[in-house]
Amino acid sequence: MADCGYRITAPAAALLALMMSALTSVAYAEIWECVDKESGAKRYTNIKSEARGCRAMNFEPVVAAPRRSFQRTANFPSVDDDTQRQRDADRRRILDLELAQEEQLLSEARKQLAEQEAARTAGHLDSYQDAVKLHEDNIASLKKEIGNTR
């Protein structure tokens, strides 16, 4: 194995281990599996006083990853505020156009459904009802998305 030139002394290794343990949190609890002798039903508990006659489950402790905060790096791509405002305005305009188109399509779908209902072709109404529902759902989604814009 090649020598990389780095040496870690025992005190440095201990300090590194201490820092790593401080940055992570460990979630661990003893769990027991209890089997009812009469019914064979299983129950699980983490309360030691309720675990008489139960079998201990051996799980490895779960180590939670440390939370990372968002930090921008020097070469992280970003845009100035004016450009972002323009992009937001364009997005809003596109969503408004899509909403207007969906509202028009919904109006046409409702008209076709009403015509089919008047013609008493009840067996064929499902596809017309589905079209109305689709456009209603699309409009609700677009309105929600418009509400999320800046």
Give the pLDDT score at 1.
Answer: 47
Domain extent, residue 127, equals 81-148
Residue indicated by tokens 């009812």: 36
- Is 143 in the same domain as 102? yes
Task: State CA 101 to chain mean position distance.
Answer: 30
Question: Mind listing the pLDDT tens digit for each residue in 47-102?
Answer: 888 888 888 887 776 677 777 776 767 777 788 889 999 999 999 999 999 999 99
Is the residue at 18 inside a domain?
no
For residues 143 and 92, the answer to whether their CB atoms sit within 8 Å is no
Question: Is residue 11 assigned to a domain?
Answer: no
Alpha helices in the chain (DSSP H): 10-23, 81-118, 125-148
Whether 101 and 144 share a structural domain: yes
Number of domains observed in the structure of the chain: 2
Mean pLDDT confidence for 103-118: 91
Q: Are strands 42-45 and 55-57 parallel, antiparallel or unpaired?
A: unpaired
Distance CA 130, CA 109 (A): 9
Distance between CA atoms of residues 29 and 23, nearest Å: 20
Is residue 97 domain-shared with residue 51, that is, in the same domain? no
Q: Does the residue 12 lie in any domain? A: no
In a domain, 112, yes or no: yes
**CA 140, CA 51: separation in Å to the nearest integer?**
52
Q: Are residues 55 and 101 in the same domain?
A: no
Residue 7 lies in a domain: no
Is the pTM value of this prediction over 0.85?
no
In a domain, 13, yes or no: no
In a domain, 15, yes or no: no
- Longest alpha-carbon distance in the chain: 89
**In one letter, which amino acid is 68?**
R
More confident residue, 146 or 21: 146
